[in-house]
Structure 1
Amino acid sequence: MSLEPDVRDRILAAVDRDEALALLRQAVAVPSVTGEEEAFARFAAERLAEAGADQVCVEEFAEGRPNAWGVVRGAGGGPGLMFVGHLDTVHVRGWEEHWRGDVREDPFSGAVVDGRVWGRGVGDLKAGICTVIAALQTLRRVGLAPRGDVCAVFVGDEESGEPGSGISAGIKDIVPRIESGQIPRPDFAVYVEPTQLHVYTAQMGFLIAEITLEGRSAYFGAPELGVDAVRAAHEVLSGLWAYTDELERRPSHPLVGRPFLLVTGITGGGYIAVPGKCRIDLIRKLLPGESLDRAKAELDRVVAAAVTDQRVHATVAYTAPRDHAVGGTPNETDPETIGVVRLREAIRTMRPDRGEVQGAPYWSENPFLSTRLGVPAVYCAPGDIRNCHTFDEHVPVDEYLDAVGVFATFIADFCGVRDADAPHPPPHHGARHHEIT
């Protein structure tokens, strides 16, 4: 690392492991299922203020649904860094029944069992948010101030499990604030989705579609009077699976794998009659470099070609707009970007078994930063996405505490630091964008 060893040692010695663990358990104890993020937004804002952020805001992106952000203003002379995470979690339906009689029965207890913190949202992604806050607290405790701005931006509406939500409304409100300079534009960004302290430099894109096929219902005894929508769906399914086979023959991506189309549901009929309506649900995975516009056009053509009965009316609705009208764009950041290099160095110094460059097996909101704002962005945080959204959601205590040291030393290395009581230029205003060499 370019960070002086004695500075690194000072930082790591200042990590208060008990305080950091208590912070995470307190965060889990604040429910924040999508649509109900306000209490946790205020909790995060209060903790950022305690960690030394001198610009802390809680502002609504929709009624009763705020984002929270804070800025630790740089003393000058260093590049800017942003950490981003989402405040909302998926629901807890069935959790208590699953863990009945166990210490983990309460999804918001933050119970520590077998060296792991358990609870809804602990991995996705309150451990990431608390890692950022605890890292800033550590730097303040050791008396070091970053030279570049450090922004922590926590948004709502990332998860998509609740009706009428999950369209990234929170970060859509943040991007114009960065463009206008209200929030400093960073030189590098880390979205704290769980990665087990590996660095995800690439991610899939996606579109979700509902294909509706409308024929004409008729009494079962006179089927000739009807137009069978399920029969039409059979033809469409055959076309979709042929398209899937064609997609999987296309070149794969070294980090993200192969593109595919997955049919996720089919609904039709329900009466003792010719089914007059049928719906097919699907998701299409895209690789970095693929276009959502092209993927939409291909899918529209597949459906149109498959419907051979002209009496059947077919429509395709794209139901999950994110940074694009029909879905979320794929994304990739050069692994040789200086922010990636220094983040990996910080991880491997603490955890030699981690810090690999990998691809995200999910879509999250980095394209808002990289595509729209031109900010190199990656995912990195403690926790394993594979147990998130399940009753087994947990984060290893040691991994989380190691992450606090990683983020604190990474901030110091990337942004540069100076003694907090040293003279420094007066505070600046507006956005800055530093060149890093």
Structure 2
Amino acid sequence: MGLVDSDTTVDSDTSAENPTSPDTAAVALCSKLISFDTTNRGPGDSVGEREAAEFVAATLATAGFDPRILESAPRRTNVVTRIPGQDAELPAVLVHAHLDVVPADPHEWSVHPFSGEVKDGYVWGRGAIDMKNMCAMVLSAVCSWPTRGLRPRRDVVLAFVADEEAHGDYGAAWLVDKHPELFRGCVVGIGESGGHTYEVDGVRFYPVATAERGTIHLRLTARGTAGHGSRPTDDNAVVKLANAVARIAAHQWPARLTPTVRAYLERVGTALGVPVDLDDVDGTVRRLGRAGQLAARALRNTVAPTMLDAGYKINVIPGTAHAKLDGRALPGQEKEFLDTIDSLLGEGVEREILDYTEAVSAPIDSPWFEAMAEALRSEDPDAVVVPYCMGGGTDAKAFAKLGIAGYGFSPLRLPKDYPLSGMAHGVDERVPVDGLRFGARVLDRFLLTV
């Protein structure tokens, strides 16, 4: 639908007051953002991000910035703004965060999932971790700059986007396709899923995502001879499909050491004093205990059968049968993944690609990574910052098409007993108040000094 003039569509009275320090407004902003229902149930079934986007734009405008509201479709709303740095010749840094959330059933929660309630030291609600916390921390930090008389060294581009919880077709992917000029000069981007505390044996690790596995969604089609159910045949499409799915599910994928996983194992092993044998990766992962779990998720390609479909009547042998598979490939392993699947299909079974998103990776030993590490250590001197590979994916893949190296860096300091793995998309999602404030200060330092 094009651009919407923020001067005429955004009510600045809805924005938060400008904070006077980077973490002052983080909690209130997170609570308010959660109160906007931006549920995304998948393609064609979304509440939309409109009101949340208007609030973000109003908050930025009140701080003196010039946000642009862009709608890819009715109510599928994105906000982008560029904050000029002190040196226009330096490459720009992108911060991207999505406004949509997955569904939540209020009957399963102890608080309403869109209440944004603050209690017991937490902000509660859908999106508290995934990822309205990041939206709030970024807003709290950058909106404090004018009142503190500060400017970043380089241009900072902020993108609050729609639709990440589906395919990004109305958010990051649309912006990259239709408005690449908004990201002119950006060479690095930070987004979700990294920079949070991961404590093991008294060592506080902060894994920063430097790679993401790719997504390869497949549909299998088995063909056979249709007939009466009372007359079994060897040419049965359902049997062919079932055997193919069973072979694929049982396949033992070999370990493949990517640069990110290699560096993670070596650096974590050094910090914990655990011997690392890269010729015995599985043994090393076991010896690392809880720390090894992060590496285990990204040692191999994986595939999960998720949907089956065949037949229309119990006494009719169908001529075709279908299955859908969720495949994830490591960086550089996409061809091996597809070749392996093809070898497991068997006669009479074909496959087609429904969705293909290549894996991405960013430099580990880079000034960008070191700047993130320094920002974390400024708030936690004992932080051990390590790279890791995400098992899933984020909008970083869309921005990679513009040559933007993506890092998962949404910093949080978390309590030792905090069940992070069950928070994103889970019941009673919540984020620690102190963690939010910590993250806002870390992001403030990173964005000002990088």
Q: Does 1:318 align with 2:353?
A: yes
Unaligned segments of structure 2, at least 5 residues: 1-18, 41-45, 198-205, 265-297, 413-419
Matching of residues 189-338 of structure 1 within 5 Å: 189-193=189-193, 195-196=195-196, 198=206, 199-224=208-233, 227-241=235-249, 244-245=251-252, 247-248=253-254, 250-251=256-257, 253-254=261-262, 256-269=298-311, 271-276=313-318, 277-291=320-334, 295-303=337-345, 306-307=346-347, 314-320=349-355, 327-338=356-367
**1:38, 1:19 → 2: CA distance?**
22
Contact 2:176 2:398 in 1 (8 A): yes
Please give the secondary structure, in 2, of the residue aligned with 1:158: coil
Give the letter for the 2:73 counterpart. A
Contact 1:38 1:66 in 2 (8 A): yes
1:9 — aligned with what?
none
**2:358, 2:175 → 1: CA distance?**
18
Relative to structure 1, the CA distance from residue 61 to residue 283 in structure 2 (aligned partners, 3 Å threshold; closer, same or farther) is same
1:432 — aligned with what?
none
TM-score using structure 2 length: 0.75
1:387 — aligned with what?
423
Could you tell me the percent identity over the aligned residues? Answer: 24
**1:301, 1:79 → 2: CA distance?**
45
Q: Does 1:368 align with 2:404?
A: no
Contact 2:34 2:128 in 1 (8 A): yes
Relative to structure 1, the CA distance from residue 299 to residue 110 in structure 2 (aligned partners, 3 Å threshold; closer, same or farther) is same
**2:106, 2:242 → 1: CA distance?**
40
Give the letter for the 1:409 counterpart. R
1:75 — aligned with what?
86
**1:392, 1:17 → 2: CA distance?**
24
- After superposing the two structures, state which structure 1 stretch, 330-339 or 187-196, moved more: 187-196
1:423 — aligned with what?
none
Q: Does 1:151 align with 2:157?
A: yes
Query: What displacement does 1:30 show?
Result: 0.7
**2:79, 2:49 → 1: CA distance?**
10
How big is each residue's C-alpha offset from its partner over 1:71-103, in whole Å with a ceiling of 9 and x where there is no partner?
1122335442210111211112xx21112xx3x
1:173 — aligned with what?
174
Unaligned segments of structure 1, at least 5 residues: 1-12, 161-165, 321-326, 415-437
**1:241, 1:365 → 2: CA distance?**
28
Contact 1:69 1:154 in 2 (8 A): yes
Aligned length, in residue pairs = 371
1:359 — aligned with what?
389
Q: Of the candidates 319, 334, 345, which is equivalent to residue 374 of structure 2?
A: 345
Relative to structure 1, the CA distance from residue 191 to residue 168 in structure 2 (aligned partners, 3 Å threshold; closer, same or farther) is farther
Relative to structure 1, the CA distance from residue 350 to residue 110 in structure 2 (aligned partners, 3 Å threshold; closer, same or farther) is same
Give the letter for the 2:72 counterpart. F
Q: Of the candidates 127, 131, 137, which is equivalent to residue 131 of structure 1?
A: 137
Relative to structure 1, the CA distance from residue 167 to residue 177 in structure 2 (aligned partners, 3 Å threshold; closer, same or farther) is closer
TM-score using structure 1 length: 0.77
Query: What displacement does 1:214 show?
Result: 3.9
Please give the secondary structure, in 1, of the residue aligned with 2:130: helix
Query: What displacement does 1:270 show?
Result: 6.5
**1:140, 1:174 → 2: CA distance?**
27
Please give the secondary structure, in 1, of the residue aligned with 2:129: helix
How big is each residue's C-alpha offset from its partner over 1:251-288, in whole Å with a ceiling of 9 and x where there is no partner?
56435322222223434447432441432221222112
2:202 — aligned with what?
none
**1:140, 1:385 → 2: CA distance?**
36
Relative to structure 1, the CA distance from residue 405 to residue 176 in structure 2 (aligned partners, 3 Å threshold; closer, same or farther) is same
Please give the secondary structure, in 1, of the residue aligned with 2:299: coil
**2:226, 2:24 → 1: CA distance?**
65
Q: CA RMSD in A?
A: 2.6
1:426 — aligned with what?
none
